[in-house]
Amino acid sequence: MSVMLYGGASLAQPGLASGIWSGAINQVACTNTMPASCQKDTFDVTFFLQQRGNRLSGSSPSLPGAFIEGVLIDRIGTTLIFALRGGQDPAFCGPSGVPDSCSCSPDLSVGLLRIDIAANSLLGSASGINADCLGQFIRLALAREP
């Protein structure tokens, strides 16, 4: 996932959210509004995040092609709040040679990330359409590695 949004005046010192963040992603993807059509997955993930001013970007070695991008929109105490955009790079979508494996590529989700820099915790949620054209909802719960 990667985020390229532009914010106003800096709300935080550069680099406060930078680091290696690991934890879990909970993902629900549905073909329509019927709950029976939904697939639920939970998996471990690591993201390398870098904050430059009001911008946050990151990638995951455990999810090749996945990206996070965000822009800092608020700070409440030690919590930084980023508007989020994330998805999958089309070059990594589906096995090569499979027709329509990326019919909705690039997939794109939008949401919010809350990073508590004192507690070293990251919570986020996003929703959108995945590369298989399924509606999806994603929750992230990560902790910064020492």
**pLDDT given at position 74:** 92
Considering the domain boundaries, does residue 140 fall inside one? yes
CB 68 within 8 A of CB 74: no
Cα separation of 142 and 62, whole Å?
14
How many domains does the chain fold into? 1
**Strand runs labelled E in 6-95:** 19-30, 38-52, 55-59, 66-76, 79-88
N-terminal to C-terminal alpha carbon distance within the chain: 22
* Residue 77: inside a domain: yes
CATH code (residue 17):
2.40.160
What values do phi and psi take at 36, rounded to 5?
-65, -20
Handedness of CA 11, 16, 20, 23 (dihedral sign): negative
**What integer pLDDT is reported at residue 2 of this predicted model?**
36
pTM of the model: 0.77
Q: What is the pLDDT of residue 6?
A: 36
C-alpha span between 63 and 83 (Å, rounded): 21
CB 23 within 8 A of CB 4: no
Give the per-residue pLDDT at 7: 40
Structural domain containing residue 81: 2-92+102-144
Residues of the chain with pLDDT under 50: 1-10, 94-100
**97 occurs within a structural domain:** no
